[in-house]
Amino acid sequence: MSGSIVSINVSPDGGVPKYPVDSAFLRKSGVEGDRQNDLKHHGGPNRAVCIFSSEVIEELRAEGHPIETGSVGENLTISGLDWNLIHLGSQLNVGDALIEITGPATPCKTIKNSFTKGDFSRISQKKNPGWSRWYARVIEPGLVETGDWIRIVDA
């Protein structure tokens, strides 16, 4: 099963929203050009990349949430993959890189403006399984570009 990268998002100053770039290098330490303000909860080798589904974003928008690509801090917004097939330990080829899912990204108040009434728990894996963003570690560093394929290699 494969999909594609619809947006690569970074924040050189840290925080959200993250803004689109045409390409970035995925390193074991994180996404080139991206910075995190809260290193206790974000970043580091096991949270080097945050991914989210454009289809989930569209479903949230249909519910009335003012969410946008990059507004909840994802580095890679992807399309075409069945989001329910991604889980802890899934490996994904993305562009020239290989990443491995390390766990769901716990939402926090910094993304509240993306949700009706500030209800950022809407994308909590604990409260709403299947709606979460995912963190990944970089197994094989590499360049990713908007439009690149993303493929599950170990589901």
Tell me which of 22 and 41 has the higher pLDDT. 22
- pLDDT value, residue 36: 77
Quick count: other Cβ atoms within 10 Å of Cβ 109? Answer: 8
The residues with which 52 forms a beta bridge, in sequence order, are 77
* Model pTM score: 0.95
pLDDT in tens, 82-96: 999 999 999 999 999
Tell me which of 24 and 42 has the higher pLDDT. 24
Task: Using pLDDT thresholds of 50, 70 and 90, give the confidence band for residue 44.
Answer: confident
Q: Residues 143, 97: contact at Cβ < 8 Å? A: yes
Q: How many CA atoms lie within 13 A of 147 on its CB side?
A: 1
Structure tokens at 59: 């479903």
State percent of the chain over pLDDT 90.
89
Closest CA to 129 of 86, 93, 98, 94: 86
- pLDDT value, residue 120: 97
How many domains is the chain partitioned into structurally? 1
Domain holding 42: CATH number? Answer: 2.40.33.20
Instruction: Check whether 40 has a pLDDT greater than 90.
Output: no
pLDDT in tens, 59-89: 999 999 999 999 999 999 999 999 999 999 9
* Parent domain of 131: 2-154
DSSP string, 69-80: TTTT--SEEEES
Instruction: Check whether 18 has a pLDDT greater than 70.
Output: yes
- pLDDT value, residue 37: 73
Instruction: Check whether 41 has a pLDDT greater than 80.
Output: no
DSSP string, 127-152: TSTT--EEEEEEEE-EEEETT-EEEE
